[in-house]
Structure 1
Amino acid sequence: MDNERKKDPLSAYREEFPITKRFVYLDHAGVAPISRRVESVLMRFIGEALEEAMFKYGVWMSRVDEIRKKCAMLIASEPEEIAFVKNTSHGLSIVAEGIEWRRGDNLILYEKEFPSNIYPWINLRRKGVELRFVPSRNGRIHIADIKRLMDSRTRLVTISSVQFSNGFRINLGELGELCKRRNVLFCVDAIQSLGVIPMNVKEFQIDFLSADGHKWLLAPEGTGIFYCRKGLEEKLNPPLIGWKSVRREFDYDRIDFDLKTDALRFEEGSLNLLGIFALGAAVDLLLEVGIDAVEKKVLELGDLIIEEAERRGFLVNTPKSRDERAGIVSLSGEFDPVWVKDNLREMGIMVNVRGGALRVSPHFYNTCEEIEFFFKSLERLVKYS
């Protein structure tokens, strides 16, 4: 074990993930396991709520403030640009329903996006908004295609930083620069990249970003972050309004509809403290490891997956270039991916199927030995299927 840790300094963090003792978990693009420190924070809050309740409220709110700062560090924003939301769909819907659309406006999105980044926009057709779909070019998105779809009535481009199916990673910097030049709002679904590759909303000129915590952030389902660039908050009409939307939120006897002027206006009611504290512990772990170190390890594991897949004659559907992928590698071959996935799970290996292919998505605590074990198991299944 000591020799292994000398080779891979991140291997010590495997102790944070008890799931590694029983399973090979390679589905962080789906629902990730939580760490021991997330469990510890959850149990602490439950104990406090059980034994102290509102006596701890001030402490809890201070913790929320600190976690907001950590989440801002993760994407290089200001804390007041961050709102806690239920999930990615929640954040994207804030944008979709908050913009004052005019009949004849249009927005641009990728034709093969995850449904969370399609349905909120389809719902705008009732307002006379046109949807313009970017075609898939062998699993890639060409920014030139996005540029061609833009005109004077284009209000917004919405895109996933990494595509859920084949793992294609778009150049956010180039796309952000295009949107800036054309005075088009830029919205990013970051759920398949946040926690595994660096994110800088200022550098990429992102206006809105949404991401749930249950994938690469290694937090439980049900809590995420929504980023709204400073200066745009008051241009979004909050689709949900509640007692926390206003400045004087604790003055219950006074009705004064004076909305907050930062992203906190989108936190309309009582917060999911359990989820936020868990998210905070998960973000702490990632910041401790370092996102650059996480990216390096995950890309190395991706290199190994691609190498082993090609050596066995499987088709790799994910771009091989490191700057065009993050944590997802998609592969297919002369096998039924659903049957293989189900049988791998029986063997204690968790992968998934998307786009008719096997999707493998390791995180920083996974090992080369686990990748090799996965391929030996896959090879055995394919041979006898």
Structure 2
Amino acid sequence: MRHPEFPLSAELIYLNHAAVAPWPKRTSTAVSKFAQQNTLYGSSCYLDWLQKETQLRVQLQTLLNAPDATDIALVKNTSEALSFVAYGLDWHSGDNIVSSNEEFPSNRIVWQSLSELGVEFREADLAQAATPEDALFALVDKQTRLITISSIQFASGLRLDIDRIGQFCQQNNILFCIDAIQSLGAVQFDVQKCQADFVMADGHKWMLGPEGLGVFYTSPASREKLKLTQYGWHMMDNTHNYENKPWSIHPTAQRFECGSPNTLGIHALSASLSLLLETGMETVEKQVLANARYLMAAIKSRPYLQLLTDETAKLQSGIVVFKHKQLSKEALYAHLQKNHVVCAMRGEGIRFSAHFYNSTQELDKAMLLIPD
């Protein structure tokens, strides 16, 4: 039986939340209401829209356990926020950045582009040490300014111990940047506990929101280390005083929002987050991980399949990757797509990413559609 908030088309089995998620019913309703309001009244309700923007910041503060809602900036996507960090810091020739060899391009190419400034980007092989964290630490030296890492790797589901990395960074006076797009909305996240300086994520994956709107967290101290690379009316202090001469930079994270807010996206993401927060992230994480374990057990029980996700890892995620021992990943992916199993081809195999609302009946049906 379908979850009442996800009346997906009957033939679909949706296991692709690590890519682009379907919207909850309430999100579709919120967008429709906003569109109708705008059609009938234009911007007459703009003050209400500002209240919704404030509400979304508080929701994101809760999701990250940020100290204050003023630490939250609403950005277009993860890549934009990463660029704010990469081109906001004051680099010196000889500095280096430590990351991994498993990062999504967004958390790789922006740092590699700094080579023109004499900054080295170091990629740790996460499998070549006692722990993935140790692999990162082994590349650190006195010239390391930043460790940047995905909290959960998109192609393997590997979940790193970000609390341990954060403690290491604090002890060694290194900035810590987290691409949290595969964590937020799927597992509990505590930015204060992991002591991150910068955290970013788009809303269209596990947060169940639209593309084109994301979150950028900066700690107050780290925020002051970033020079601004975009300018506009919305990033000024006393934002709505349009005769603001001379002007000053907004004291909060709003300084990273140079222009008009994405009001449609704000209404949508706020509605999606309301479902996650009402459900409770502890409950969401418990079910996401239970579904992942269920899939891993089902995969292991079939002799013609090979589980690629490490089921023995201390920390688990909602991502499960496997391959067929006879069929190529391309052939298996095409077969699953033809049979309406929405998934992804990542790494060496097929990636399933079930959310909290997916039922074991759906998971069983997906597994039965895999040929032996």
TM-score range, shorter chain: over 0.9
Aligned equivalent of 2:311, options 320, 323, 332: 320
CA contact (8 A) 1:42 1:274 kept: yes
- The change in CA–CA distance for 1:224 and 1:141 in structure 2 (over 3 A counts) is farther
CA–CA distance in 2 between the matches of 1:140 and 1:90?
Answer: 34
Deviations 1:119-145, CA, capped at 9 Å, x for gaps: 110111111111111113179962122
Asked if 1:45 is matched to 2:34, the reply is yes
| Counterpart in the other structure of 1:329 | 320
| Counterpart in the other structure of 2:353 | 361
Deviations 1:337-380, CA, capped at 9 Å, x for gaps: 122112212211111110120101000111111111111110x3
Aligned equivalent of 1:163, options 134, 140, 153: 153
| Counterpart in the other structure of 1:8 | none
State the SS of the aligned residue for 2:193. coil
CA contact (8 A) 1:96 1:120 kept: yes
- The change in CA–CA distance for 1:140 and 1:266 in structure 2 (over 3 A counts) is farther
CA–CA distance in 2 between the matches of 1:87 and 1:164?
Answer: 16
CA contact (8 A) 1:211 1:226 kept: yes
Deviations 1:76-119, CA, capped at 9 Å, x for gaps: 01100000011111111111111111111111011120001001
Q: Which amino acid aligns with 1:320?
A: E
| Counterpart in the other structure of 2:15 | 26
Asked if 1:347 is matched to 2:336, the reply is no
Stretches of structure 1 lacking an aligned partner (at least 5 in a row): 2-10
Q: Which amino acid aligns with 2:350?
A: L
Q: Higher helix fraction: Structure 1 or Structure 2? A: 1
Q: What is the alpha-carbon root mean square deviation over aligned residues?
A: 1.5
Q: Which amino acid aligns with 1:264?
A: Q
Aligned equivalent of 2:106, options 106, 116, 125: 116
- Paired residues in the alignment total 369
How far 1:333 moved relative to its partner?
Answer: 2.4
How far 1:322 moved relative to its partner?
Answer: 6.2
CA–CA distance in 1 between the matches of 2:130 and 2:42?
Answer: 51
| Counterpart in the other structure of 2:5 | 16
How far 1:248 moved relative to its partner?
Answer: 2.6
Stretches of structure 2 lacking an aligned partner (at least 5 in a row): none
Question: Which runs of 4 or more aligned residues in structure 1 lie more than 4 Å from their structure 2 counterparts after TM superposition?
Answer: 138-141
Q: Which amino acid aligns with 1:90?
A: E
Residues 47-86 of structure 1 correspond to what in structure 2 (within 5 A)?
47-77=36-66, 78-86=68-76
Asked if 1:150 is matched to 2:140, the reply is yes
CA–CA distance in 2 between the matches of 1:123 and 1:366?
Answer: 40
CA–CA distance in 1 between the matches of 2:289 and 2:129?
Answer: 19
Residues 195-234 of structure 1 correspond to what in structure 2 (within 5 A)?
195-234=185-224
Asked if 1:100 is matched to 2:90, the reply is yes
CA–CA distance in 1 between the matches of 2:57 and 2:249?
Answer: 20
CA–CA distance in 2 between the matches of 1:319 and 1:342?
Answer: 25
CA contact (8 A) 1:135 1:141 kept: no
CA–CA distance in 2 between the matches of 1:54 and 1:256?
Answer: 28
| Counterpart in the other structure of 1:241 | 231
- The change in CA–CA distance for 1:89 and 1:140 in structure 2 (over 3 A counts) is farther
CA contact (8 A) 1:157 1:187 kept: yes
Q: Which amino acid aligns with 1:340?
A: L
How far 1:306 moved relative to its partner?
Answer: 1.0
Of residues 182-191 and 131-140 in structure 1, the stretch that sits farther from structure 2 once superposed is 131-140
Deviations 1:255-288, CA, capped at 9 Å, x for gaps: 3231012111001000111111111111110001
User: Structure 1 length normalisation: TM-score?
Assistant: 0.93
CA contact (8 A) 1:94 1:238 kept: yes
Residues 128-139 of structure 1 correspond to what in structure 2 (within 5 A)?
128-137=118-127
User: Structure 2 length normalisation: TM-score?
Assistant: 0.96
Of residues 205-214 and 306-315 in structure 1, the stretch that sits farther from structure 2 once superposed is 306-315
